[in-house]
């Protein structure tokens, strides 16, 4: 799909008015008067040039001033292209308000071939948030036969070329993650995921390894889930970014993503069936880690990053695994499978154990649309984060705030450990023993068993990685949660 474009332009009047439209910000102050905010001098020049008083215009409409409210004012065309000004509410002027304002502007212009000069943000943090969010708001995915590839271009005013270059890389990486998630599962199977990964690895000259068939002998979880759909069968995909730094050892981050290309639940079939329609997005974790590692050659952090994509389809067929099967994970842990719909933790367990045994990570992080319980606890605005390392938790929370993919630190409650006992295997994977009603927590406790002594973080993004409707920066459906977050975190290491 086509993505919205970003440019950095000078704040000269000539450059600004050569676009099709201009976007400026306003707030409603405590005494209920209105104020223009952002690139004030440039806005004053625009008012003079078009002979218009924007405060008069705003006051006429009496808007609430909340972030993302948009007024569209026609302007008398001079010898320039610009024929309208978007005046956009900036709420409390926080970075989050900048995101909402930008996303709504992007959404308003979605699918339109239009160039807009934007003057909403001034400091570089807000310019970055603004630029990323206009692109995310404009995002669209469609297979409509009459669709055109048009998308807007945003000329962000201010001397901020580096900021805009990074914003372009990051926002387009989120868009690519979204494209994979939105792709229906009749196109998207584990082999297709491997092909996408090959393409991205080639672009960034990253090393990539794909395991299938007999080479997956030790990956008992991935095989048990993936054998339900034997053609083309599960794939383990490993992609590595190694920075070129001489001498000094750089930290190694391993990112493990859940890549279930469709989750029917398997023999423990999902009911009612409309719960299934969202499950083409059950590979959102894998999509996130793939698109993060994919842009690191451009962003050049001094960190080695390995992405592991655990790809399988959880189908219902004659070769599906059964509730009561016992499987052997990478590294030898045996697990009694009680509910075939708890397949995510089975594929992740292999990835985590492999990373611990083979890759010597300094940080081991997994991201997965893992449990409905995460959504019950936090809704859609926060991802659930589990880790015993409080410093790491702080780092990631900070990356969540700076990026817009926000996280909440959840507890790994040891009182619930006994729920993972099994009479016949090392573990049962659904925390069936005991009735703790803490599905997201017990899933995290299960995963922890496979992480050795590593510094480990688990992100349950079942709630935050999709949206029920077009709102904020999210389109309806998968939103690429985690891409911005992990990029910001890696760049901060």
Residues in touch with Mn ion (CB under 5 A) = 263, 341
- State which of positions 446-475 bind ligand BES (CB under 6 A): 462
Measured distance CA(481)–CA(144) in Å, rounded:
25
128 is catalytic: no
* Member of 439, 477, 480, 482 binding ligand BES (CB under 6 A): 439
CA gyration radius, the chain: 24
263 binds ligand BES (CB under 6 A): yes
Q: Does residue 366 touch Zn ion according to CB under 5 A?
A: no
Which residue in the list 39, 108, 176, 345 is annotated as catalytic? 345
Q: What is the dihedral of CA 382, 25, 172, 253, to 10 degrees?
A: -40
- CB of 310 closer than 8 Å to CB of 256: yes
Q: How far apart are CA 241 and CA 251, in angstroms?
A: 12
Q: What CA–CA distance (Å, rounded) separates 400 from 354? A: 27
For ligand BES, which is the closer residue by CB, 257 or 439? 439
Q: Does 313 bind Zn ion (CB under 5 A)?
A: no
Q: Based on the shown chain and the rule CB under 6 A, indicate whether residue 261 belongs to the binding site for ligand BES.
A: no
The C-alpha atoms of residue 131 and residue 137 are separated, in whole angstroms, by 10
Q: Is 402 in the site for ligand BES (CB under 6 A)?
A: no
Q: Are 416 and 445 in contact (CB under 8 A)?
A: yes
Would you say 336 or 341 has its CB closer to Mn ion? 341
Chosen residue from 243, 372, 379, 411 binding ligand BES by CB under 6 A: 372
Active site residue 270: yes
Q: Checking DSSP bridges between strand 84-89 and strand 21-28, what pairing results, if any? A: parallel
Beta strands, E only, 280-373: 304-314, 326-328, 334-336, 363-368
Of the candidates 320, 365, 312, the residue with the CA atom closest to the CA atom of residue 339: 320
Give whichever of 45 and 269 is closer to Mn ion, judged by the CB atom. Answer: 269
Rounded least distance, CB 343 to Zn ion, Å = 6
Choices 18-26, 148-156, 340-348, 473-481 (CB under 6 A): range interacting with ligand BES: 340-348
Q: Quick one: tokens of 96? A: 């989050």
Residues in region 318-347 near Zn ion by CB under 5 A? 344
Q: Which residues contact 44 (CB under 8 A, 6 or more apart)?
A: none
Check 223, 235, 270, 280 and give the catalytic one.
270
Determine if 361 is a binding residue for ligand BES (CB under 6 A). no
Q: Which is nearer to Mn ion, 166 or 341 (CB)?
A: 341
Q: Catalogue the active-site residues.
A: 270, 345
> Which residues are at the interface with Zn ion (CB under 5 A)?
260, 263, 282, 344
Residues that bind ligand BES (CB under 6 A): 263, 278, 282, 339, 341-344, 369-373, 430, 439, 462
């Amino acid at each position: 799909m086509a993505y919205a474009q970003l440019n950095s332009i000078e704040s000269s009047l000539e450059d600004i008015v050569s676009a099709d439209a201009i976007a400026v910000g306003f707030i409603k102050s405590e005494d209920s008067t209105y104020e223009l905010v952002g690139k004030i001098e440039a806005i004053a020049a625009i008012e003079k040039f078009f002979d218009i008083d924007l405060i008069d215009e705003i006051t006429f409409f009496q808007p609430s001033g909340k972030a993302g409210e948009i007024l569209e004012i026609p302007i008398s065309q001079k010898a320039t292209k610009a024929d309208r000004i978007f005046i956009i509410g900036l709420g409390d002027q926080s970075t989050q308000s900048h995101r909402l304002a930008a996303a709504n502007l992007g959404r308003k212009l979605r699918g339109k071939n239009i160039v807009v000069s934007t003057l909403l943000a001034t400091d570089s943090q807000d310019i970055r948030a603004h630029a990323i969010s206009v692109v995310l708001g404009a995002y669209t995915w469609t297979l409509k036969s009459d669709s055109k590839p048009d998308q807007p271009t945003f000329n962000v005013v201010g001397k901020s070329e580096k900021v805009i270059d990074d914003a372009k890389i990051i926002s387009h990486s989120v868009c690519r993650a979204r494209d994979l998630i939105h792709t229906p599962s009749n196109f998207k199977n584990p082999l297709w995921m491997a092909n996408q990964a090959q393409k991205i690895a080639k672009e960034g000259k990253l090393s990539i390894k794909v395991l299938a068939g007999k080479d997956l002998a030790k990956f008992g979880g991935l095989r048990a889930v993936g054998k339900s759909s034997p053609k083309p069968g599960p794939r383990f995909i490993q992609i590595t970014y190694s920075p070129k730094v001489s001498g000094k050892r750089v930290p190694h981050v391993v990112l493990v993503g859940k890549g279930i290309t469709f989750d029917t639940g398997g023999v423990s079939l999902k009911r009612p069936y409309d719960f299934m329609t969202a499950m083409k997005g059950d590979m959102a974790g894998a999509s996130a880690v793939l698109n993060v590692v994919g842009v690191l050659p451009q962003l050049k952090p001094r960190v080695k990053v390995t992405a592991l994509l655990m790809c399988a389809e959880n189908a219902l067929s004659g070769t599906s695994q059964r509730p009561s099967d016992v499987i052997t994970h990478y590294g030898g842990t045996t697990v009694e499978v009680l509910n075939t719909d708890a397949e995510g933790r089975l594929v992740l367990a292999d990835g985590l154990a492999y990373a611990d045994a083979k890759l010597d990570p300094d940080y081991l992080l997994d991201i997965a649309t893992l449990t409905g319980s995460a959504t019950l606890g936090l809704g859609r605005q926060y991802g659930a984060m589990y880790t015993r390392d409080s410093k790491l938790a702080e780092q990631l929370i900070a990356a969540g705030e700076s990026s817009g993919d926000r996280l909440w630190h959840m507890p790994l409650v040891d009182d619930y450990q006994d729920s993972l006992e099994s009479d016949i295997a090392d573990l049962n994977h659904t925390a069936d023993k005991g009735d703790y009603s803490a599905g997201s927590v017990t899933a995290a406790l299960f995963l922890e068993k496979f992480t050795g002594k590593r510094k480990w973080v688990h992100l349950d993004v079942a709630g935050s990685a999709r949206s029920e409707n077009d709102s904020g920066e999210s389109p309806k459906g998968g939103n690429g949660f985690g891409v911005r977050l992990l990029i910001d975190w890696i760049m901060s290491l």
